[in-house]
Structure 1
Amino acid sequence: MSKRFEIRLIAPSGYAEDRAACQRGIERLQAAGHTVLGTHVVDRVSLRFAGSDAERAADINQLANPDLPLPDVVMAIHGGYGAISLLAHLDYEGLSARFVESSCVLVGHGDFTVIQCALYARCRIGSLFGPMLVQDFGAGYLRENTWRHFWQTLQSPRTDISWLCPDGQQDLHTEGTLWGGNLSALCSLIGTPYLPVIEDGILYVEETGEQAYRVERMLYELSLSGVLATQRAIILGGLGGQRVSEYDNGYDIEHALDRFAAACGIPVVRGLAFGHGQDKWTLPFGARAVLDVADGTAELLVSGYPYKA
């Protein structure tokens, strides 16, 4: 990584409880030569949120102001919950006008999914589902693969990702629009104008801390609502944090995913690390992708997303 970028922090969801992680993340970015703007958002607290709805919406709407230069990167500091209350207050017309010829890149994951979906549904603004300030760049131990792949993706018009699939993965070749995010965040947008209608999609989903039956229920919600009817494949990421109770009789996340895969009617590819979790690949949202699975290895070739040359 040789280029230096201007990075603006935004806080559309929960507040950053770990202030030491915030400082580590800011210092790491600065040590790499980047300029970090908007650091005041790490200090905002209102109930469980990083400021009022108006303050958090303003973080994003300032990007629509033609009198302010756009940064190279807009990075969410933290996930949690809260971004959905901002969707009705965003300046979609202004954002669309600024981003139509801009290479400003938005990045985040988890609850940031609802912002990414809304911006793509209303403005066709693409983004990156990738690392954030607190849990990634501010982690006690910085994961080299997470750091390296983010900067590679940010600076290239194309990214290639390959991974080993679990035993029994069927071979596959398909092409489509890559999109997705956090499972519960996606489901919260069903029936709203903020969930993109994407034909021939390759949908990636991940989740953390939800019980196996809840994960299965949300996957069925995507299916029964018609979202999966227009998808060519699903890529499942990390789905950890479940407890198995005595009542479950051995039913766990593996059973939930196997049951869903058998019922959903489209290919399900597993084993990719993204979203929650310590190591993660950066996945473009709204890009063109080719997905190949052969002999237990998956390869995803992605192009046509915002980047910084």
Structure 2
Amino acid sequence: MPKRFDIQLVAPSGYAEDRAACHRGIERLQAAGHRVHGTEVVDRVLLRFAGSDAERAADINRLADPDKPLPDIVMAICGGYGAIPLLDRLDFDGLAARFLDDSSVLVGHGDFTAIQCALYARCGIGSLHGPMLVQDFGAGYLRENTWRHFWQTVTSPRTEASWVCGEEQRDLLVEGTLWGGNLSALCSLAGTPYLPTVAGGILCVEETGEQAWRIERMLFELKLAGVLDNQRAIVVGGLGGQRVSEYDNGYDIEHALQRFGRACGLPILRGLAFGHGPDKWTLPFGAPAVLSVADGAASLTASGYRYAGAVDGGPVAPA
């Protein structure tokens, strides 16, 4: 019998505009046998946020309460904006005491990157950069690969992603700590105690809706802030939503990455589906990883990270 998980929903950022997607995601998780808690957060709305700063921080701090059992999975409902104002409100000591010796995992992407970075920087708590309730599990069409890779990663201490990066990419083999996430969220933490210092890292970045010049500017911000010092490679995920104007004279995201690649001197790989976008791999933030490229095929393997527990008979499939 496959293991059934307790899943706690949290809403540290924007509110869930698509309520139908919320309920669809909850129903899918429940139909697969999992127990979903905290469903009341999907109904909270204050301005553009899923409740007040105090309410949203309480979602996270409640996990530090030693009198309450930790769920198997803590899942953000959606991104948007709102996580960074919570960081000074979080009980990092309490969270560290609960999570460091427990198998409970946190998962999300986009604005949730700020929470993930802060937890790793202040507590050494790893997490999963992966699907969320609204846009992934609640999507009109559930992507089977996204679902299956998430459960494979959640239930195993090792995971792998593979993709085609093109013949023009030079062969590569590097080892390092896997980390990163949403590019604008990472930049918002530069110069703060909430951005981790990762030596020998494999930095993964993704973004949506930002113009090519803004992508280039944010990458340079990380470089000038010293964040890229001692990184071994940069893996670029989806960068959708760019528009090329007449003023750009043909300058687009390809030019932006080429220009930045020459300036930073690090290998930059493209084509890994993570973060925003309908299909996504689940990446363990803070895990030891191996990145390899041979003959235009890339693979990223991570191991030794926090996972919720083994499942007998494979991942629980959606109804």
What is the TM-score when the length of structure 1 is the normalising length?
0.99
Equivalent residue number for residue 231 of structure 1:
231
1:161 and 2:145 are equivalent in the alignment: no
Q: How far apart, CA to CA, are the structure 1 residues paired with 2:110 and 2:80?
A: 7
Distance 2:53 2:266 in 1: 38
Q: Structure 2 regions of 5+ residues with no counterpart?
A: 310-319
Which residue matches 1:101? 101
CA contact 2:73–2:104 (8 Å) conserved in 1: yes
Which residue in 2 is equivalent to 1:244?
244
For residues 148-227 of structure 1, the aligned pairs below 5 Å read 148-227=148-227
Please give the secondary structure, in 2, of the residue aligned with 1:22. Answer: helix
CA positional deviation for 1:79:
0.1
Q: CA RMSD in A?
A: 0.8
The corresponding residue for 2:314 is none
Q: Give the whole-Å Cα distance in 1 for the aligned partners of 2:166 and 2:210.
A: 21
Measured after TM superposition, the shift of residue 2 of structure 1 is 2.5
The one-letter code of the counterpart of 1:197 is: T
Q: Which residue identity is paired with 2:298?
A: A
**Cα offset, 1:268, TM superposition:** 0.7
Greater Cα offset, 41-50 or 222-231: 222-231
- Unpaired segments ≥5 residues, structure 1: none
Q: Match of 2:307, as an amino acid?
A: Y
Q: Does the Cα contact within 8 Å between 2:167 and 2:295 map onto a contact in 1? A: no
User: Could you list the per-position Cα deviations for residues 129-177 of structure 1 after superposition, in whole angstroms to 9, with x for gaps in the alignment?
Assistant: 0000000000000000000000000000000111100341111111000
Note the 1:1-309 alignment, pairs <5 A.
2-309=2-309
In the TM superposition, residue 190 of structure 1 has moved relative to its aligned partner by 0.2
Q: Deviations over 1:46-101 (max 9, x none)?
A: 00000000000000000000000000000000000000000000000000000121
Q: Per the alignment, in what secondary structure is the counterpart of residue 227 of structure 1?
A: coil
* Aligned residue identity for 2:217: R
Per-residue deviation at 1:305?
1.0
The Cα shift of 1:254 comes to: 1.0
| Alignment partners' CA distance in 2, 1:93 and 1:229 | 28
Q: Deviations over 1:230-264 (max 9, x none)?
A: 20000000001001100000111111111111211
TM-score by length of 2: 0.96
Look up the equivalent residue of 1:131 and give its one-letter code.
P
How far, CA to CA, are the matches of 2:23 and 2:305 in structure 1?
30
Report the Cα distance in structure 2 between the residues aligned to 1:33 and 1:258, rounded to whole angstroms.
47
* Overall identity of the aligned pairs, in %: 78
Query: Which 4+ residue blocks in structure 1 deviate beyond 2 angstroms?
Result: none
Q: Counterparts of 1:162 and 1:18 in 2: how far apart (Å)?
A: 32
What's the offset of the Cα at 1:229?
Answer: 1.1
Give the match's secondary structure for 2:81: coil
Cα distance, 1:282 vs structure 2: 0.3
Q: What is the total number of aligned residue pairs between the two structures?
A: 309
Match of 2:315 in 1: none
